């Protein structure tokens, strides 16, 4: 069984009970006759859920029972994304400066940077940015040519250190006479305190064309505690309405949703409405930074609202960009021990996508089940896609050679049909979600799905799909009849002209 993180054994006479708390938030109770058998099963489950080595995990032993039609490991290479970019602009280039992961351990071997910046300059900028995460292209807005970059914090320190190559790199994205925006996902006081530890922020004296905006997004233990409180509230069936609402509010989960969506909307607004390029970073550039850049693309780019476009976004902005999935998704909400680096960063992103999806239900090719699937596989999977913390670790583990990609399974036609939104209509416009408290709801599909009967919901969803399917069939018949009517009218006019 995948995703088991905690077992609890209870004994009544000769009957043993094992309570299994899973990473997908499910709680399973097993009643097993015989104390010895129960203890053996419990110890086996415990051992398999606390493996010491990544290479002992299930993806290394899983053998697919389906025909592999597509190698998911090579489905969304950055070279393919650059090919798409090259068709609309020639201001960018592919750099292989990090081909051996020596410049930045958490970056992929290939990145997209301004054409005017050479690799030697990139090496100097990497020394000036935390963890070597120099500014790289995240998104290019075809509508007006504005760019969104992402990086980590600059290492300015208390002495106000500067790097002219860094200044030149981000200025290369600006149009003549235009300003840019730096969106820092830390509060101002935290950014200022970071200088004492060697970090910092872009000082206006060295970046006069850039305006810095601080949009605080919570991370790490605060976010994890919020997640745990929310799950506890959802599992507690005993409280009345007042107590439920009080515990929901105390979790602060919806507040984190609001803060993140607000920051993403700000980034999108700077690009689309202000006509300005944007640089997004926090401290390391591997968590809140990626949340903002990927959500901004959901708002701005209709391609990211398709199934393959969203998969490409997850690969590009999360997997290749170095989000440490192995650390962040280690234990989920039921862990006894507090993991220092545990945090539901990716889940928070998926929930924000769901919130936007709920407000624009016809603008997404995928349905809610697709988002739930990604949540489940990020925490526990038979596929190797989310193993490791970055591309360097995945290369060392030889995941493409030794494990199967999630995309190889998901993108098979018979599987894809389960994740398609029946009311999808391609929308080429920018979509602006509401972040008002009244517009945000608890994601029942994740947090309440194991606590309520789902049969009626599934029946209602099936009926809805059948109605939509029948409506499309009727629409197709109407279109055929209209064509036939138009042809008959045309034939009639021709006959009238031929008659003397």
- The pLDDT confidence band at residue 453, using thresholds 50, 70 and 90, is low
Is the per-residue pLDDT at 499 higher than 90? no
CA angle 486, 491, 496 (to 5 degrees): 125
Residues 268 and 317 in one domain: yes
Mean pLDDT across 32-46: 87
Residues 251 and 396 in one domain: yes
Count CA atoms within 13 Å of residue 131 on its CB side: 18
In-domain check, residue 70: no
Residues 232 and 348 in one domain: yes
Condensed to tens digits (0 to 9), the pLDDT of residues 20-34 reads 889 999 999 888 888
Do residues 202 and 185 make contact, with C-beta atoms less than 8 angstroms apart? Answer: no
pLDDT at 217: 96
Return the closest-CA partner of residue 299 out of 368, 214, 360, 377: 360
In-domain check, residue 494: no
Is the per-residue pLDDT at 287 higher than 90? yes
Distance from chain centroid for Cα 74: 19
In-domain check, residue 44: yes
Residues 240 and 195 in one domain: yes
Mean pLDDT across 326-343: 86
pLDDT at 496: 67
In-domain check, residue 495: no
Residues 30 and 155 in one domain: no
Residues 108 and 255 in one domain: yes
In-domain check, residue 314: yes
pLDDT at 339: 77
Condensed to tens digits (0 to 9), the pLDDT of residues 182-206 reads 999 999 999 999 999 999 999 999 9
Condensed to tens digits (0 to 9), the pLDDT of residues 64-96 reads 999 999 999 999 999 999 999 999 999 999 999
**Domain range for 467:** 453-489
Is the per-residue pLDDT at 251 higher than 90? yes
pLDDT at 42: 87
Condensed to tens digits (0 to 9), the pLDDT of residues 291-312 reads 999 999 999 999 999 999 999 9
Do residues 209 and 180 make contact, with C-beta atoms less than 8 angstroms apart? Answer: yes
Is the per-residue pLDDT at 336 higher than 90? no
Q: What is the C-alpha to C-alpha distance for residues 148 and 138, in angstroms, rounded to an integer?
A: 5
In-domain check, residue 500: no
Is the per-residue pLDDT at 258 higher than 90? yes
Do residues 260 and 292 make contact, with C-beta atoms less than 8 angstroms apart? Answer: yes
User: What are the CB-based long-range contacts (under 8 Å, 24+) for 402-407?
Assistant: 402/60, 403/59, 403/60, 403/62, 404/59, 404/62, 404/64, 404/68, 404/72, 405/71, 405/72, 405/73, 405/75, 406/72, 406/377, 406/381, 407/70, 407/72, 407/73, 407/75, 407/76, 407/311
Is the per-residue pLDDT at 14 higher than 90? no
Is the per-residue pLDDT at 4 higher than 60? no
Percentage of the residues of the chain whose pLDDT score is greater than 70: 94
Which residue intervals of 178-252 are DSSP H helices?
A: 188-193, 220-235, 241-251
Is the per-residue pLDDT at 5 higher than 50? no
Residues 98 and 200 in one domain: yes
Q: What is the C-alpha to C-alpha distance for residues 228 and 122, in angstroms, rounded to an integer?
A: 41
Do residues 375 and 350 make contact, with C-beta atoms less than 8 angstroms apart? Answer: yes
Do residues 426 and 335 make contact, with C-beta atoms less than 8 angstroms apart? Answer: no
Q: Which of 302-311, 332-341, 426-435 has the weakest average pLDDT? A: 332-341
pTM over 0.85: yes
pLDDT at 12: 60
Number of domains in the chain: 3
- The partner residues of 31 in beta bridges, in order of sequence, read 17
In-domain check, residue 8: yes
Residues 463 and 370 in one domain: no
Condensed to tens digits (0 to 9), the pLDDT of residues 368-427 reads 999 999 999 999 999 999 999 999 999 999 999 999 999 999 999 999 999 999 899 999
Mean pLDDT across 303-322: 98
Average pLDDT of the residues of the chain: 92
Is the per-residue pLDDT at 10 higher than 70? no
Condensed to tens digits (0 to 9), the pLDDT of residues 143-186 reads 999 999 999 999 999 999 999 999 999 999 998 889 999 999 99
pLDDT at 1: 40
Give the pair of three-digit tokens for residue 179.
């300003």
Residues 344 and 382 in one domain: yes
- The pLDDT confidence band at residue 342, using thresholds 50, 70 and 90, is very high
Residues 432 and 310 in one domain: yes
Residues 339 and 398 in one domain: yes
In-domain check, residue 171: yes
Residues 298 and 169 in one domain: yes
């Amino acid at each position: 069984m995948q995703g088991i993180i905690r077992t609890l054994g209870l004994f009544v006479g000769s009957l043993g009970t094992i309570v299994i708390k899973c990473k997908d938030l499910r709680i399973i109770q097993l009643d097993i006759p015989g104390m010895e058998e129960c203890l053996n099963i419990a110890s086996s489950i415990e051992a398999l859920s606390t493996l010491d080595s990544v290479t002992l995990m299930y993806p290394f032993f899983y053998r697919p029972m389906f025909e592999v039609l597509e190698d998911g490991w090579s489905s969304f290479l950055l070279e393919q994304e650059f090919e798409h970019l090259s068709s609309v602009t020639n201001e960018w280039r592919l750099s292989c400066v990090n081909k051996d992961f020596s410049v930045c351990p958490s970056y992929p071997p290939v990145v997209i940077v301004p054409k005017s910046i050479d690799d030697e300059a990139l090496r100097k900028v990497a020394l000036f940015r935390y963890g070597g995460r120099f500014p790289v292209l995240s998104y290019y807005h075809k509508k007006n040519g504005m760019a969104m970059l992402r990086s980590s914090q600059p290492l300015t320190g208390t002495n106000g250190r500067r790097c002219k190559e860094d200044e030149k790199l981000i200025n290369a994205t600006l149009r003549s006479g235009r300003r840019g925006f730096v969106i820092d996902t830390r509060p101002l006081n935290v950014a200022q305190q970071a200088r004492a530890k060697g970090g910092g922020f872009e000082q206006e004296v060295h970046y006069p064309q850039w305006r810095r905006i601080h949009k605080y997004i919570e991370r790490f233990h605060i976010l994890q505690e919020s997640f745990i409180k929310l799950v506890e509230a959802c599992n507690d069936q005993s409280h009345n309405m007042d107590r439920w609402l009080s515990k929901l509010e105390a979790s602060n989960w919806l507040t984190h949703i609001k803060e993140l969506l607000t920051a993403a909307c700000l980034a999108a607004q700077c690009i689309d409405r202000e006509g300005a390029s944007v640089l997004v970073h926090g401290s390391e550039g591997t968590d809140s930074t990626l949340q903002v850049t990927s959500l901004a693309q959901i708002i701005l780019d209709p391609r990211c609202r398709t199934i393959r476009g969203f998969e490409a976004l997850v690969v590009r902005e999360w997997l290749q960009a170095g989000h440490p999935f192995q650390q962040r998704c280690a234990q989920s909400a039921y862990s006894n021990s507090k993991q220092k680096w545990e945090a539901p960063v990716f889940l928070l992103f998926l929930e924000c996508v769901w919130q936007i999806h709920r407000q624009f239900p016809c603008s997404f090719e995928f349905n809610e089940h697709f988002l739930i699937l990604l949540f489940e596989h990020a925490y526990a999977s038979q596929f190797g896609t989310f193993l490791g913390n970055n591309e360097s670790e995945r290369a060392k583990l030889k995941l493409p050679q030794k494990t199967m990609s999630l995309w190889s399974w998901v993108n098979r036609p018979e599987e894809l049909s389960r994740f398609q939104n029946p009311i999808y209509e391609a929308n080429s416009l920018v979509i602006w979600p509401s972040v008002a408290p009244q517009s945000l709801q608890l994601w029942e599909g994740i947090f309440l799905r194991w606590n309520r009967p789902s049969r009626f919901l599934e029946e209602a969803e099936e009926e809805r799909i059948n109605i939509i399917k029948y409506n499309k069939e009727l629409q197709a018949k109407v279109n055929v009849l209209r064509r036939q009517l138009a042809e008959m009218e045309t034939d009639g006019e021709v006959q009238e002209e031929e008659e003397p």
